[in-house]
Structure 1
């Protein structure tokens, strides 16, 4: 089955994927908020900031 098959779905639809590659914890949220503030980004309340390592 795969996402490729959805391209030919008979009705229009929205597909939302919430891909996080990590566990959401309060400590990681605080770190993301501090990073966002220091980088001039909007400060998140419920999600983490995607960053590369």
Structure 2
């Protein structure tokens, strides 16, 4: 059995886009790295917006 390591990232941008998108798949653009990173960078999500 291959060991599994879990880590908590500071945000989507901390994870390489190719790795994120490989897990998310192409079916839903709203879970893609580019979309979620844009939400984080614009301040649309986070502690002050009420969306985390």
Specify the TM-score bucket, using the shorter chain as the normaliser: under 0.3
> Could you say which structure has the larger radius of gyration?
1
Give the TM-score normalised by the residue count of structure 2.
Answer: 0.26
Give the TM-score normalised by the residue count of structure 1.
Answer: 0.26
